[in-house]
Structure 1
Amino acid sequence: MKKNVLYLVAAVFVGLLCGYFIFGTNSTAPGEKVHNDHDHEEVGSSEMWTCSMHPQIMQPEPGDCPICGMDLIPAETGADGLSANEIKMTENAIALANIQTTIVGSVAGASGDNSILLSGKIVPNDENNAVQASYFDGRLERLHVNYEGQKIQKGQLLATIYSPNLVAAQQELLTTTTLKESQPALYEAVRNKLKLWKLSDAQIAAIETTGKVKDNFPIYATVTGTVTEVAAREGDYVKQGQPILKVSNLTTVWAEFDAYENQISSLKVGQKIKVVSNAYAAKEFEATLSFVDPILSNATRTVIVRAILKNTDDLFKPGMFVTGKISGENNHNEDIITVPASAVMWTGERSLVYVKSSVDQPIFEMREVKINGRNGENISIASGLQHGEEIVTNGTFTIDAAAQLQGKKSMMNKMGGRVMTGHEHHTGMEATSNKAETSSHIEMEFSKSFQDDFSKALHTYLEMKDAFVSGEPQQITSLAKKAAAAFKSLPKKDLGTLDKEHLEKSIAMFWAIGNSGRLEQQREHLVVLNEHMVAMAMNLKSPSENLYVQRCPMANSNQGAVWLSLDEEIRNPYYDSGMLTCGSVIQVIQ
């Protein structure tokens, strides 16, 4: 009996204790919302607010969801527990994208090799260029050298020309020959006129000996070299001094490189440089810097650096891509943060990296950094990163593309967020008449009618892109103007602020390409155009054809550039035939 009472007392005590822990600590009235210091800390630190039912909604302040009317919650406490600039990827997606990471401060070679890497190409040596011109007015009857790349020797017959002035001068010579004894001054004056027209003494003597006037007079080469341009054709009438051929002696050539502003202080005339060509990748050629351009290009923010290469074996062809390596002083500083160049994305205004923000989970945070300079394949960071942090060094653009698709902050979208379609927005406004309007920075998905019109206009862009692949400036000019007109006709009333900006800047770039006749300059404009075209294309929902977002890391002076294509096969629009397959697919819009 005593045992039963003891058990009963113990049970009552345990029950009271459990009741205290369950109900005793909650003294608020039913329905009353609990606020504590921790909650206030979370609210105060939240940058973006989202809807638990519609995570695509991102707003910079609390309020109601414009779709369903529910209270917005801090993005950090949403369903996935991630902020607007964080993205979580599956292990399978990471494997497919071949995403690789590196610990900041462990970059291989950062502390030993401080060399400067430069990209450039082979061009003719202007000091060895010559022009074969016509020394008198006339008509080209026969052109014996008529294509570029043809080698000529000094004294070789280039063309025959009919010149009324030369015919008259020959007749004067024959007349004054009979007066040579009585009027020697007149005779010498006529001979000197023929010499000024580059007739040799042997040619003048032949006219005097035969006593016959030549109607078609030969023109001989005055230099040895390779024809780089044919400036006239058979049947053309040429003026005195007008070029017929342009010739370059390719026994020496120039290797011209582009150097960035932060590299200028390390470059001096007389420095040794090792040059490697794609054609002879296993062989290094020694050269010396002969020229550093004193004028900085406003368009590319680079200067031209030049070295002279001996080319007696005809190894180097003008137009070849080459890289140059200049050894620098080893002034390694432990406080300087250095990362691989592949880790940094540059938009023209911002430099971004993706940091692995979780040790155990594949969560990546987009972070803005400031660049201090570049040495070879490494970039030094002035601010934004700390030693020991883990950053993405391969697959950066794949992560960024996935972030944009999920409405997160991305390279193309500073603020992040996607907004509902016009129908969803209308429904949400009807359901909650007193709801706040969507923030101006949030962009809307394209309407069905706009997507259809955009897809039609997109084909004009793709035609122009194919012309870049072929390297045809005149065709590019024509197609760029056609594309500008097509995109200008697109309706803008349903577009958000950012999408309008992308569209307007795309139209401006189309016109810039159409008004430029130089392929190199057109490709510079294409880099900017493609950034905006890709940003708009990423908002397409179920396009009629698969679109491939492709990227070449070497384009845009090794900063990388993207483009759109209907074909998975890489056809690079930024380079000529030697680099057509440079690049990879970073995103498929299905």
Structure 2
Amino acid sequence: MNKNIIYIAIAILVGLLGGWLIFGGSSEDSKSNKDASNMSDSQDHSADGEVQMWTCSMHPQIMQPEPGDCPICGMDLIPAESSADGLAMNEIKMTKNAMALAGIQTSIVGNQTTDDENMISLSGKVKMNEEENAVQASYFDGRIERLNVNYEGQEVRRGQLLATIYAPNLIAAQQELITAASLKESQPALYKAVRNKLKLWKLSEAQINSIEESGKVKENFPIYATVSGTVSEKMAAEGDYVKQGQPIVKVSNLNSVWAEFDAYENQISEFKKGQKIKVVTNAYTNKEFDATISFIDPVLNTQTRTVIVRANLKNSEGLLKPGMFVTGKIEAKANGTTSQFSIPASAVMWTGERSLVYVKTNPNEPVFEMREVTLGNRIGETFTVVSGLQDGDEIVTNGTFTVDAAAQLQGKKSMMSQDTADDEKPMSDMKMELSKNTQNIFQKSLKPYLKMKDAFVDSDAKNTSAFARETLEEIQLIRESELGTMEKSHVAKIKKMLGAISENDDIENQRSHFVILNQNMVPIVMNIDNIDSKVFIQKCPMANNNKGAFWISADTEIRNPYYGDAMLTCGSVIDTVQ
């Protein structure tokens, strides 16, 4: 019986232990599974909070919050890579090593200094004072036997011998004088009329008396300068036959010059005639010249939205040379133009009428975002910024195009992927400062360029390379010392693209370089003054992966260089340079 009790107790203990193992373990598993389920739910909810973006493999600038078709090419959109580093949609991140290799530099923009915060700065040029110009003309018909003015810029003084002229009419008039002199007692009126006739031809009393006393006829007569100044233009040469009143030389008095500035539409109210203005030039950085506003153009230039403000400058020391770039500073009214930021020209990229900069959005990391800005005046190598930046913003000032290229590779918004406006005025507002020599070189380079364009139309890679090489040979004659920072950047890119085209034998690869070549070539050509032959700026909206591409043509007829026979007439004329 005791044994039975023992057996029953053992059975109960075994039953309790088995029950605990079965139901207790199941409870723990249930709890564990519940916790895992809760964790999974939490993770799923977190995943649901992330917004999945969709993009096009051919057009990475397209970003949509839901799947569908690409609005450009119609291809199915694919999921965009999620940003693991927390970047915004249009931000791009570069490594510090890449920035160092590319020489990328940034600077912080801010308001002008206290001394200048109430000053308006204008950029302009020194010009000849047209009120002080004089034309030295011939007073009688004849042939120039000797011209004593040899070159432009030569100084002449009043009374100086300018030229000697053989004048048949004067030979006859001298003979009349000699005859009338013998009859002056009997016919004084005739004698007086003959002398007056010679005076009208600007012969002096001494010259007339000399002819009368000697009784000899002179064949050649001198022309003396009636004003003092600098020869600004030679209008005749030795051996030329000139008519009475025909100009021989143009003389400018450079003791007084003009400084002409471009003032923007929103600044016009700040200026009035008689107002004092301080003028400085790069040639004399520590010297200020006092000037007075003498003229404000009554007509606004509709292309640049500026008016000419002209100031008179005394130049008795001859320090100011016509053609010099100058900066004018004038005190703004208390309620007038507010102070503006100034940024280097190297920080700005141009896409038609847009001006773009890259802003560093993270002070501790190399993260950048493209931003559109509105520019004001250009002052030397800087631009004033009307809108688009704030005090303390850090922008890329060197290596801007490198940052933009990185943005393109990462499929972010860039200069190339900017949406274009409906009204196309390509690059016409981009003001460049080009020397006369640089303009002449670019005009010469247009001849091989146009042949290269025609070779693209014919899809002839061999001739395309040859004409690109000819164009590059012309461009390489440009002196870098005559270029500003922005102009240097464009010319360097032009040389690089022409070199790539000339060394390549694949027409499609050449065309991709031709796109970038024209982005830099077109704005320079549009800044050429008095171009020899009219050219047309044309654009195909479908070229360059539907981003649009420009080219220069000598004819209005569309001959598309980007597609050859496939789309020969795709495009339109959007501007004219003449």
Alignment partner, residue 20 of structure 1: 34
* 1:203 partner amino acid: Q
Is the alpha carbon distance of 1:358 and 1:173 closer, same or farther for their aligned partners in structure 2, counting shifts above 3 Å?
Answer: same
Task: Tell me which of 82, 86, 95 is aligned to 2:91.
Answer: 86
Alignment partner, residue 211 of structure 1: 215
Aligned partner of residue 146 in structure 2, secondary structure: strand
- For 1:79-138, what per-residue CA distance to the aligned partner results, in whole angstroms no more than 9, with x for missing partners? 7765663322221333453421437xx435379612111222222221211111111111
Aligned partners of 1:101 and 1:508: how far apart in 2?
29
Aligned partners of 1:278 and 1:207: how far apart in 2?
56
Worse-superposed segment, 353-362 or 305-314: 353-362
- For 1:261-317, what per-residue CA distance to the aligned partner results, in whole angstroms no more than 9, with x for missing partners? 232222222222221122211111222222222223344433222222222222222
Task: Tell me which of 302, 310, 315 is aligned to 1:311.
Answer: 315
CA contact (8 A) 2:234 2:249 kept: yes
Aligned partners of 1:497 and 1:455: how far apart in 2?
11
Aligned partners of 2:328 and 2:359: how far apart in 1?
31
Is it true that 1:262 corresponds to 2:271 in the alignment? no
Is it true that 1:113 corresponds to 2:123 in the alignment? no
Is it true that 1:520 corresponds to 2:529 in the alignment? yes
* 2:94 partner amino acid: M
Aligned partner of residue 113 in structure 2, secondary structure: coil
The 5-angstrom pairing of residues 133-148 of structure 1 reads 133-148=137-152
Q: CA deviation at 1:154?
A: 1.1
Alignment partner, residue 72 of structure 1: 78
The 5-angstrom pairing of residues 37-436 of structure 1 reads 39=48, 42-43=51-52, 46=53, 49-51=55-57, 57-60=60-63, 62-63=67-68, 72-74=78-80, 77=82, 85-95=90-100, 96-102=102-108, 106-109=110-113, 113-331=117-335, 338-342=340-344, 345-370=349-374, 379=384, 381-382=386-387, 390-392=394-396, 395-404=399-408, 406-415=410-419
Q: CA deviation at 1:360?
A: 4.3
The 5-angstrom pairing of residues 401-550 of structure 1 reads 401-404=405-408, 406-415=410-419, 455-466=465-476, 469=479, 520-522=529-531
Aligned partners of 1:26 and 1:116: how far apart in 2?
64
Aligned partner of residue 294 in structure 1, secondary structure: coil
Aligned partners of 1:112 and 1:144: how far apart in 2?
50
Is the alpha carbon distance of 1:220 and 1:397 closer, same or farther for their aligned partners in structure 2, counting shifts above 3 Å?
Answer: same
CA contact (8 A) 1:111 1:332 kept: no
Is the alpha carbon distance of 1:21 and 1:361 closer, same or farther for their aligned partners in structure 2, counting shifts above 3 Å?
Answer: farther
> Which ranges in structure 2 are unaligned for 5 or more consecutive residues?
1-12, 421-455, 483-500, 548-578
Aligned partners of 1:256 and 1:509: how far apart in 2?
23
Q: CA deviation at 1:186?
A: 2.3
Worse-superposed segment, 16-25 or 279-288: 16-25
* 1:109 partner amino acid: T
TM-score (norm 2): 0.65
Is the alpha carbon distance of 1:242 and 1:73 closer, same or farther for their aligned partners in structure 2, counting shifts above 3 Å?
Answer: same
CA contact (8 A) 1:64 1:72 kept: no
- For 1:397-437, what per-residue CA distance to the aligned partner results, in whole angstroms no more than 9, with x for missing partners? 44234434555432343159xxxxxxxxxxxxxxxxxxxxx
Worse-superposed segment, 456-465 or 173-182: 456-465
Aligned partner of residue 121 in structure 1, secondary structure: strand
If you compute each CA radius of gyration, which structure gives the higher value, 1 or 2? 2
Q: CA deviation at 1:454?
A: 5.3
CA contact (8 A) 1:89 1:363 kept: yes
Q: CA deviation at 1:230?
A: 1.3
Is the alpha carbon distance of 1:219 and 1:121 closer, same or farther for their aligned partners in structure 2, counting shifts above 3 Å?
Answer: same
CA contact (8 A) 2:258 2:313 kept: yes
Aligned partners of 1:73 and 1:213: how far apart in 2?
101
CA contact (8 A) 1:115 1:375 kept: no
Number of residue pairs the alignment of both structures matches: 461
Is the alpha carbon distance of 1:209 and 1:375 closer, same or farther for their aligned partners in structure 2, counting shifts above 3 Å?
Answer: closer
CA contact (8 A) 2:229 2:252 kept: yes
Aligned partner of residue 341 in structure 1, secondary structure: strand
Aligned partner of residue 258 in structure 2, secondary structure: strand
Worse-superposed segment, 211-220 or 255-264: 255-264
Fraction of identical pairs, as percent: 52
Q: CA deviation at 1:71?
A: 6.1
Aligned partner of residue 301 in structure 2, secondary structure: coil
Aligned partners of 1:110 and 1:452: how far apart in 2?
60
CA-atom RMSD in angstroms: 5.0
Aligned partners of 1:319 and 1:370: how far apart in 2?
28
Aligned partner of residue 529 in structure 2, secondary structure: helix
Is the alpha carbon distance of 1:71 and 1:90 closer, same or farther for their aligned partners in structure 2, counting shifts above 3 Å?
Answer: same
Aligned partner of residue 458 in structure 1, secondary structure: helix
Aligned partner of residue 353 in structure 2, secondary structure: coil
Q: CA deviation at 1:22?
A: 3.9
Aligned partner of residue 368 in structure 2, secondary structure: strand
CA contact (8 A) 1:337 1:387 kept: no
Is the alpha carbon distance of 1:155 and 1:11 closer, same or farther for their aligned partners in structure 2, counting shifts above 3 Å?
Answer: farther
> Which ranges in structure 1 are unaligned for 5 or more consecutive residues?
28-33, 417-445, 472-486, 540-590
- For 1:500-556, what per-residue CA distance to the aligned partner results, in whole angstroms no more than 9, with x for missing partners? 98899999889x77xxxx953559x99x98x99xx98xx9xxxxxxxxxxxxxxxxx
Aligned partner of residue 152 in structure 2, secondary structure: coil
CA contact (8 A) 1:159 1:220 kept: yes
